[in-house]
Amino acid sequence: MSDDLQTVREATLASINAASDLKAWDAARVAVLGKSGTLTAMLKELGRTPPEQRRERGAALNALRDEFGAALEARRATLQAEALAAQLAAERMDVTLPPRLAPVGTIHPISRTMEEIAAIFGAMGFATAEGPDIESDWHNFSALNIPGHHPARDDHDTFYLPGDPPRVLRTHTSPVQVRTMLEQAPPIRVIVPGRTFRADHDATHSPMFHQCEGLLIDRDITLGHLKGCLIDFLRAYFGIATLPVRFRASYFPFTEPSMEVDIGWNRRTGEIGAGTDWLEILGSGMVHPKVLANCGIDPREFQGFAFGMGIERITMLKYGMADLRPFYESDLRWLRHYGFSPLAPAILHEGLSG
């Protein structure tokens, strides 16, 4: 090999092996084999070489081109392996580490109780219905046989909203059952959990609280159906198969007859299902014929029963909470203590058969 080719060879191989990353490698490649690279220029000059030297020089240049190509390929493989090793080292991770857990909240006891009630009545074929917080006077009162002059209106401490006619914040969830009866033909089985509002605020009353009412309408429905249904519910909800339940005559404008439902407890210890005292827990009754007629149902053909309960109250009784106010204060300590895991659903209806 001629001296000039030997010089080019050494300089080129040195520059290829000096390339310390893929960018420098590419620059070295272009400098030799690119359009105006050193070897490209020498190959172009071959045409001007005297014919007797051309063959030998051409063979030498071709050999150089192959050698540079091989050197470039070897360098590229080395650089890529180094780059991959560096990346693997930099991005090293331990896939056996436990995951960082996202903070998990808790289900509010009000929501939990509503879910439990829906699960128990759901197993008895009741659907859950919802409706608006703001109601007409007719849906909240008149349809339920509570006329304008009726003293029950004063009892309800109603929030009236401005307007003509004035509307109300619903004082119970009954207007949702009224809407259900107007929209659906019997048979009807619904429960209606939700917010209710009364202008009443002290240690045991909040102006916003929660109720769950229920309604069943069908042919040949009797007080016996009401009693069996509510006894099953109370025993499943409190998880006490032998819970004593007592029905006591009462009065509501929207039911006839009406009954208060009591459960057995020990007033001194607060224990439910034990002792000789009675605790009022539900209101109930056979739906008043006038209410059925107001809601487009013929009372000679269909009968039914209805009931209502306070969610906060039955929650406090079941979980031994002494005070109503923390329900609405969003105190994380209280919520963590009394809240429920979002991963453990209410499956209390199993208690009905079990």
Query: Do 134 and 162 contact (CB within 8 A), yes or no?
Result: no
Residue number, 15 or 255, with CB nearest to ligand 2NL: 255
- Find the shortest distance in angstroms from Cβ 349 to ligand 2NL: 22
Site string for ligand 2NL, 186-215 (x = CB under 6 A): -------------------------x-x-x
DSSP calls for 15-57? HHHH--SHHHHHHHHHHHHSTT-HHHHHHHHGGGS-HHHHHHH
CA dist., res. 191 & res. 233, Å (int): 12
> Which H or E run contains 190?
strand 188-197
Of 33-41, 55-63, 108-116, 304-312, the window that binds ligand 2NL (rule: CB under 6 A) is 304-312
According to the binding rule CB under 6 A, does residue 64 interact with ligand 2NL?
no
- Find the shortest distance in angstroms from Cβ 183 to ligand 2NL: 13
Residue number, 244 or 283, with CB nearest to ligand 2NL: 283
- Find the shortest distance in angstroms from Cβ 203 to ligand 2NL: 19
Residue 99, SS3 per DSSP: coil
Near ligand 2NL by CB under 6 A: residue from 308, 316, 340, 346: 308
CA dist., res. 57 & res. 239, Å (int): 101
Binding residues for ligand 2NL, rule CB under 6 A, total 20
What is the DSSP pairing of strand 167-169 with strand 188-197?
unpaired
Site string for ligand 2NL, 103-142 (x = CB under 6 A): ----------------------------------------
DSSP calls for 237-305? HHT-TT--EEEEEEEETTEEEEEEEEEEE-TTT--BT-SSEEEEEEEEEEEPHHHHHHTT--TTT-EEE
DSSP calls for 191-242? EEEEEEE-S--BTTB-SEEEEEEEEEEETT--HHHHHHHHHHHHHHHHT-TT
- Find the shortest distance in angstroms from Cβ 217 to ligand 2NL: 9
Near ligand 2NL by CB under 6 A: residue from 168, 230, 243, 309: 309
- Residue 208 CB contacts under 8 Å (≥ 6 apart), including other chains: 195, 196, 197, 328
Of 1-9, 47-55, 224-232, 250-258, the window that binds ligand 2NL (rule: CB under 6 A) is 250-258
- For 259, what's the count of Cα atoms within 13 Å in the CB-facing half-sphere? 18
Near ligand 2NL by CB under 6 A: residue from 42, 188, 291, 335: 291
Near ligand 2NL by CB under 6 A: residue from 121, 197, 265, 307: 307
- Find the shortest distance in angstroms from Cβ 142 to ligand 2NL: 12
Chain position carrying tokens 């080395």:
78
Site string for ligand 2NL, 152-191 (x = CB under 6 A): ----------------------x--xx-------------
Q: Considering only residues 313 through 342, tell me which ones interact with ligand 2NL, judged by CB under 6 A.
A: none
Query: Do 194 and 211 contact (CB within 8 A), yes or no?
Result: yes
Residues that bind ligand 2NL (CB under 6 A): 144, 174, 177-178, 211, 213, 215, 252, 254-255, 283-285, 287, 291, 306-310
